[in-house]
């Protein structure tokens, strides 16, 4: 089964919608309008009933104007748009997101790392041009590689085996603790 067929009766999340080529846009539009798909190499229609939630950081309206995104698909999907500001524009969310990603990474890598001191505030003060993905990636990479991210003070926290060793300013030494 493909993704659309597997999502029958439910919801399918499509990330980076703007990256779909013209042919895939046509197939997605057909699935949404006619509620049918065809398997690759198949010649029989298969009925599907699904909802689509799509995300992109691209300006789809601009892509429609330029002719690089189908207008009919854009209007079919743009029923209930939700726009989230970039992470640097909603710094109040960073601490909660960082806690979530740290908890997820702890489970994934069988670690027990927690923030201490003003680590969450330091993360909130950092520039995150890659938005939520960059924040999640840095936290996961820190636990996976046994190294941590650069804090606002410029310190690097090392999560190798045993207690965390912090190189940098004394103030940065309270950023993280390994239990």
At 65-118, the pLDDT tens digits run 999 999 999 999 999 998 888 898 999 999 899 889 988 988 887 777 777 666
**pLDDT of residue 156 exceeding 70:** no
H or E segment to which residue 3 belongs: helix 3-6
Percentage of residues in the chain having pLDDT higher than 90: 48
106-132 mean pLDDT: 77
State how beta strands 46-47 and 51-54 pair: unpaired
pLDDT in tens, 19-47: 999 999 999 999 999 999 999 999 999 99
Beta-bridge partners for 165: 158
């Amino acid at each position: 089964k493909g993704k659309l067929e597997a999502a029958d009766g439910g919801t399918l999340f499509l990330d980076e919608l703007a990256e779909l080529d013209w042919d895939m846009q046509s197939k997605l539009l057909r699935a949404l309008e006619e509620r049918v798909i065809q398997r690759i190499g198949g010649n029989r229609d298969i009925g599907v009933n699904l909802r689509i939630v799509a995300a992109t950081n691209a300006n789809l309206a601009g892509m429609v104007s330029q002719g690089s995104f189908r207008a009919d698909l854009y209007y079919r999907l743009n029923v209930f748009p939700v726009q989230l500001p970039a992470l640097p524009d909603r710094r109040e969310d960073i601490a909660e997101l960082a806690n979530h990603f740290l908890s997820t990474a702890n489970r994934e890598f069988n670690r027990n790392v927690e923030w201490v001191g003003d680590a969450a505030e330091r993360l909130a003060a950092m520039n995150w041009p890659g938005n939520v993905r960059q924040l999640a990636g840095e936290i996961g990479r820190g636990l996976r590689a046994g190294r941590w991210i650069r804090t606002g003070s410029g310190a690097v926290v090392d999560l190798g085996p045993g207690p965390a060793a912090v190189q940098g300013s004394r103030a940065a030494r309270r950023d993280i603790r390994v239990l």
